[in-house]
C-alpha cells in the first residue's frame, strides 16, 4: 500500500500541468477572490452556490444523494480502519469457501485462524464459519429430532449434541475470550488517545491568540501536527467529529498566517503536491482489475487525504477534491459492477441448488418396501446433500428460503424412512420383549438346587431363544451375553455337582469333619496368649486341608461357629477378635477359589465403610447444635461416645478391607 512518501513522484512542470488540467475540467472552480487568504470551504465540502445547474433539479439532487452516500460509506470505512490498525491484515487473510466445508473442516479452519492470526483480524471469517457450522449442525439435529419423535419420544425430552459440536463450542469460546480481552484493552487505549487529541486541539486553538514571534508560532504549529500524527487511533464513532474539528482549527490557523504568507504558501504547496499524487494513484486504481484491492487502497488514500495533509491554496481546493471524489465514485461503480458479476454466480448457484432440491423430492417420492431399497435411497440423499453444500453461495435475499426448501425436502424423505423403520423396529421390539422374558427365567433359576426339575426348563428356553427373530441391533449383543451367562452359570453348577464326588474332596471333608470334632472338644487354658496361639494353629491346620465337595460346604459354617465360641472366651479387644475371625472367613473363601465371593465381600466392606463414615458425619453435624452447651451435658457426652464408637468400628472395617486386598 502507498503512503505519501512512496506515491509516484511528479516534477514541478507536471504538477503545474496536472493542476491546470484539474482546474480546467471542473465547472465548480471558484472565481478568484480579492482576498485569497479567506478560507471558508473545506476540501470535503461544497457550498450550495457552487453547484452546477446543467441538470434538472431532481436529477441533480439524486446524483448528489448518490455521491453523498458513497462519501459517507468511505468516511465510515476510514473511521473503522482508523480504529482498527489490523485492516490490512484482516483483508489479506484468505476467505475460503466455508459453505462447501464439512463440520470437521470448519473446526480445523477455525482452530487455524485462532492459533495463527491476530484475534482482532478474523471476526468476519469466524462469523461466516460459525454460521455455516450452525446451519449444518441444526440440519443434522432436525433429522435426529424427527427420528426421536418417530420412535415415540416426547419433544420436551429431546436433546442432541455431538463431540464435534462440543469441540466447535470450545474453540469458539476461546476465540470470544481472546477477542473480548483484546477489545477491553483497546477500549482503554482508544479513550486515552481521544483525550490526547482533544488536548492537542485545545493547544492548536490557543496558537491564534498567543503573543510571540510568528516563526516561533509556526514551529509550534508544526510540533502540534507531529503530535497529532503520533496520537494513535480513537473510537470510530468519534473519528469524523474529531478530525473535522481539527481541520477547522487548522484552517483557522492558516487564516491567522496571513501575517506570514511564506509559511502558509510552503504548506499549501506541499499539501497540493501530495494530494495530486493521491489523485494520480486513485486514477491508477480506477483501472485496477483487483476490485477488492483497489477499494482497500482507496480507503487508505482517503485516510491519508484526511489525516496526513492539510489544506491547499483556495483556487485548487474544490477542483482537486472534486477530481478525487469523481475517482472515488468511479472505483465505487467498478466495485458495484464486480458485485453484480458475483450476484450472477450466486444466481447460477441458486439454479443448481433448486435442481438438487427437485432431485431430492423425486428420490423421496418413491418409497421402497424393504431395508435394502431404503439403504440405496439413503445413499442417494446423502450424495445430494453433499452436492447441495458444494454448490456455493446464493443471493442473500433468498438464502433462508433456499435453505428452508432444502430442509423441507430432506425432512419429507426422513419422515417416510422413519415410518418404515418404525414398523420394522416394532417387530424387533416385540422379539426383544420375548427374549427378555427368557432371560428372566434363566437368571431366576441359575442358582436352583433342584437340578432334576430345573434342567429340562433351562434346555427348553434355549430352544425357544433360537426360534425368536431379530431384535434391535444395539441390544443384540448385550441380551445374548446375559442369557448365555445365566445358562452357563447353571450348567457349570451341574458339572461342579457331578465332580463333587471327587475322592480328594471327600477325603478333605472327612479330615475336616474330624478336625471339627477335635475343635469342639478343645479346652482353653485360660492364658490368652497360649490359647490364641492354639486357636491360630487350629486355623492353619484347617486351611491346609483343602476344599470339600460343593454340597458339603456347610462344614465351613459349622467350623466358624465353633471357632466363634472359643474366641468369645478370650479377653481380646473387639478389633483383634473381629480380624482373627474375619481372616478365617477370608481363608475359607480363598481355599475354594471363590473369586466372585471375594469380590462381593470387598464390595460389602466398602459399603459398610461408606455407611459408617456417613453416620460419623451426621453425628458431627449434630454436635454443632450443641456448640454453646457445656461439655458435661449428658447429650453432648452421648454424641461424643457414639462418634468414638463409630470411629473404632470404622477402623475395624478398614482393616478388613486391607486384609482382603492382600489376598
Instruction: Report CA torsion sign: 291, 293, 299, 302.
Output: negative
| Pairs from 501-506 (Cβ < 8 Å, separation ≥ 24) | 501/549, 502/549, 504/546, 505/546, 505/547, 505/548, 505/549, 506/549
Q: For 151-173, what is each residue's pLDDT tens digit? A: 667 777 778 888 998 999 998 99
DSSP for 103-146, written as a single string: HHHHHHHHHHHHHHS-GGG-HHHHHHHHHHHHHHHHHHHHHHHH
Answer for the pair 200, 228: CB distance below 8 angstroms, yes or no.
yes
CA–CA dist 216, 474 (Å, integer) = 90
* pLDDT recorded at residue 481: 93
φ and ψ of 308, to 5 deg: -95, -20
Residue 111 cell numbers, joined: 482452530
How many beta carbons lie within 10 A of that of residue 26, not counting itself? 17
Which residues make Cβ contacts (< 8 Å) with residue 422, sequence separation at least 6?
150, 151
Residue 456 cell numbers, joined: 429340562
What CA dihedral angle connects 485, 486, 489 and 495, to 10 degrees? -110
- Strand, coil or helix: what is 35? coil
Q: What is the phi-psi region of residue 152: left when phi exceeds 0, alpha when psi lies from -120 to 50, beta otherwise?
A: left
CA–CA dist 121, 125 (Å, integer) = 9
Buried b (16+ CB within 10 A) or exposed e, 554-571: ebbeebeeebeebbeebe
Spans in the chain with pLDDT lower than 50: 1-57, 259
Residue 654 cell numbers, joined: 478398614
How many beta carbons lie within 10 A of that of residue 451, not counting itself? 14
CA–CA dist 648, 644 (Å, integer) = 6
Q: Quick one: DSSP state of residue 521?
A: H
Q: What is the phi-psi region of residue 478: left when phi exceeds 0, alpha when psi lies from -120 to 50, beta otherwise?
A: alpha
Q: For 306-340, what is each residue's pLDDT tens digit? A: 777 878 888 888 888 888 888 888 888 888 888 77
Whose cell is 425368536? That residue is: 468
Q: For 427-459, what is each residue's pLDDT tens digit? A: 788 888 999 999 999 999 989 888 888 989 999
**What end-to-end distance do the CA atoms of the chain give, in Å?**
79
CA–CA dist 593, 95 (Å, integer) = 68
For residue 659, give the nearest of 614, 621, 602 by alpha carbon: 602
Q: For 358-398, what is each residue's pLDDT tens digit? A: 998 888 888 887 878 888 888 888 889 888 888 888 888 88
- Strand, coil or helix: what is 55? coil
Answer for the pair 133, 106: CB distance below 8 angstroms, yes or no.
yes
For residue 338, give the nearest of 300, 301, 289, 398 by alpha carbon: 289
CA–CA dist 323, 317 (Å, integer) = 10
Q: Quick one: DSSP state of residue 498?
A: H
How many beta carbons lie within 10 A of that of residue 310, not counting itself? 19
Q: Where are the alpha helices (DSSP H) in 207-235?
A: 214-229
Q: Quick one: DSSP state of residue 288?
A: -
Answer for the pair 57, 279: CB distance below 8 angstroms, yes or no.
no
Domain boundaries, the chain: 261-395, 428-501, 572-662
Instruction: Report CA torsion sign: 532, 534, 535, 540.
Output: positive
- Strand, coil or helix: what is 16? helix
What is the number of alpha carbons within 13 Å of residue 330 lying toward its C-beta?
A: 15
CA–CA dist 561, 465 (Å, integer) = 45
pLDDT averaged over the chain? 78
Answer for the pair 281, 301: CB distance below 8 angstroms, yes or no.
yes
Q: For 283-307, what is each residue's pLDDT tens digit? A: 888 888 877 778 778 878 887 887 7
Q: What is the phi-psi region of residue 593: left when phi exceeds 0, alpha when psi lies from -120 to 50, beta otherwise?
A: left
Residue 369 cell numbers, joined: 418396501
Q: Where are the alpha helices (DSSP H) in 391-472?
A: 396-445, 451-467
Answer for the pair 21, 318: CB distance below 8 angstroms, yes or no.
no
State the greatest distance between any 2 C-alpha atoms of the chain, in Å, as a whole number.
Answer: 143
Whose cell is 476344599? That residue is: 547
CA–CA dist 234, 192 (Å, integer) = 8
φ and ψ of 530, to 5 deg: -70, -40
Residue 580 cell numbers, joined: 482373627
For residue 406, give the nearest of 389, 422, 390 by alpha carbon: 389
Amino acid at each position: 500500500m502507498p503512503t505519501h512518501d512512496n506515491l509516484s513522484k511528479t516534477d514541478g512542470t507536471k504538477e503545474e500541468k496536472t493542476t491546470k488540467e484539474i482546474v480546467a475540467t471542473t465547472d465548480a472552480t471558484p472565481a478568484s477572490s480579492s482576498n485569497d487568504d479567506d478560507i471558508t470551504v473545506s476540501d470535503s465540502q461544497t457550498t450550495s452556490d457552487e453547484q452546477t445547474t446543467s441538470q434538472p433539479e431532481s436529477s441533480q439532487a439524486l446524483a448528489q444523494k448518490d455521491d453523498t452516500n458513497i462519501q459517507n460509506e468511505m468516511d465510515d470505512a476510514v473511521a473503522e480502519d482508523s480504529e482498527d490498525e489490523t485492516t490490512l491484515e484482516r483483508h489479506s487473510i484468505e476467505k475460503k469457501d466455508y459453505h462447501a466445508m464439512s463440520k470437521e473442516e470448519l473446526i480445523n479452519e477455525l482452530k487455524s485462524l485462532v492459533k495463527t492470526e491476530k484475534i482482532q483480524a478474523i471476526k468476519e471469517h469466524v462469523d461466516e464459519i460459525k454460521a455455516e457450522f450452525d446451519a449444518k449442525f441444526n440440519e443434522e439435529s432436525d433429522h435426529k429430532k424427527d427420528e426421536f419423535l418417530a420412535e415415540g419420544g416426547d419433544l420436551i425430552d429431546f436433546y442432541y449434541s455431538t463431540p464435534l459440536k462440543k469441540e466447535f463450542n470450545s474453540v469458539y469460546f476461546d476465540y470470544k475470550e481472546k477477542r473480548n480481552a483484546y477489545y477491553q484493552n483497546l477500549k482503554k487505549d482508544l479513550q486515552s488517545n481521544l483525550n490526547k487529541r482533544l488536548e492537542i486541539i485545545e493547544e492548536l486553538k490557543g496558537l491564534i491568540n498567543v503573543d510571540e514571534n510568528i516563526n516561533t508560532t509556526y514551529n509550534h504549529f508544526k510540533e502540534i501536527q507531529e503530535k497529532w500524527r503520533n496520537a494513535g487511533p480513537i473510537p470510530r464513532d468519534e473519528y469524523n467529529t474529531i478530525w473535522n474539528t481539527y481541520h477547522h482549527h487548522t484552517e483557522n490557523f492558516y487564516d491567522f498566517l496571513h501575517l506570514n504568507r511564506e509559511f502558509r504558501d510552503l504548506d499549501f504547496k506541499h499539501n497540493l503536491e501530495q494530494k495530486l499524487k493521491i489523485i494520480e494513484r486513485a486514477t491508477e486504481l480506477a483501472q485496477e482489475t483487483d476490485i477488492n484491492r483497489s477499494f482497500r487502497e482507496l480507503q487508505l488514500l482517503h485516510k491519508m487525504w484526511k489525516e496526513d495533509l492539510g489544506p491547499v491554496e483556495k483556487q485548487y481546493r474544490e477542483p482537486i477534491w472534486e477530481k478525487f471524489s469523481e475517482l472515488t465514485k468511479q472505483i465505487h461503480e467498478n466495485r458495484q459492477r464486480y458485485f453484480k458479476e458475483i450476484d450472477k454466480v450466486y444466481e447460477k448457484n441458486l439454479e443448481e441448488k433448486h435442481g438438487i432440491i427437485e432431485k431430492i423430492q423425486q428420490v423421496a417420492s418413491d418409497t421402497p418396501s424393504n431395508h435394502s431399497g431404503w439403504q440405496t435411497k439413503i445413499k442417494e440423499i446423502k450424495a445430494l446433500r453433499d452436492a447441495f453444500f458444494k454448490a456455493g453461495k446464493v443471493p442473500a435475499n433468498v438464502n433462508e428460503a433456499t435453505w428452508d426448501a432444502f430442509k423441507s425436502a430432506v425432512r419429507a424423505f426422513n419422515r417416510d424412512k422413519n415410518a418404515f423403520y418404525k414398523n420394522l423396529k416394532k417387530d424387533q421390539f416385540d422379539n426383544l420383549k420375548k427374549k427378555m422374558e427368557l432371560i428372566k427365567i434363566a437368571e431366576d433359576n441359575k442358582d436352583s438346587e433342584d437340578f432334576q426339575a430345573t434342567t429340562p426348563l433351562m434346555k427348553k428356553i434355549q430352544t425357544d431363544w433360537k426360534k425368536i427373530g431379530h431384535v434391535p441391533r444395539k441390544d443384540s449383543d448385550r441380551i445374548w451375553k446375559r442369557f448365555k451367562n445365566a445358562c452357563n452359570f447353571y450348567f457349570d453348577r451341574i458339572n461342579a455337582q457331578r465332580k463333587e464326588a471327587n475322592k480328594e474332596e471327600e477325603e478333605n471333608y472327612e479330615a475336616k469333619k474330624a478336625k471339627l470334632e477335635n475343635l469342639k472338644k478343645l479346652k482353653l487354658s485360660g492364658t490368652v496368649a497360649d490359647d490364641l496361639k492354639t486357636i491360630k494353629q487350629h486355623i492353619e491346620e484347617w486351611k491346609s486341608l483343602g476344599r470339600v465337595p460343593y454340597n458339603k460346604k456347610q462344614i465351613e459354617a459349622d467350623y466358624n461357629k465353633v471357632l466363634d465360641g472359643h474366641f468369645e472366651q478370650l479377653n481380646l479387644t473387639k478389633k483383634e477378635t473381629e480380624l482373627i475371625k474375619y481372616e478365617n472367613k477370608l481363608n475359607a473363601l480363598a481355599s475354594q477359589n471363590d473369586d466372585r465371593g471375594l469380590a462381593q465381600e470387598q464390595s460389602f466392606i466398602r459399603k459398610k465403610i461408606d455407611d459408617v463414615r456417613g453416620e460419623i458425619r451426621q453425628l458431627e453435624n449434630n454436635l454443632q447444635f450443641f456448640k454453646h452447651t457445656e461439655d458435661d451435658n449428658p447429650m453432648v457426652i452421648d454424641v461424643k461416645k457414639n462418634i468414638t464408637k463409630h470411629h473404632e468400628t470404622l477402623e475395624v472395617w478398614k482393616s478388613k478391607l486391607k486384609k482382603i486386598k492382600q489376598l
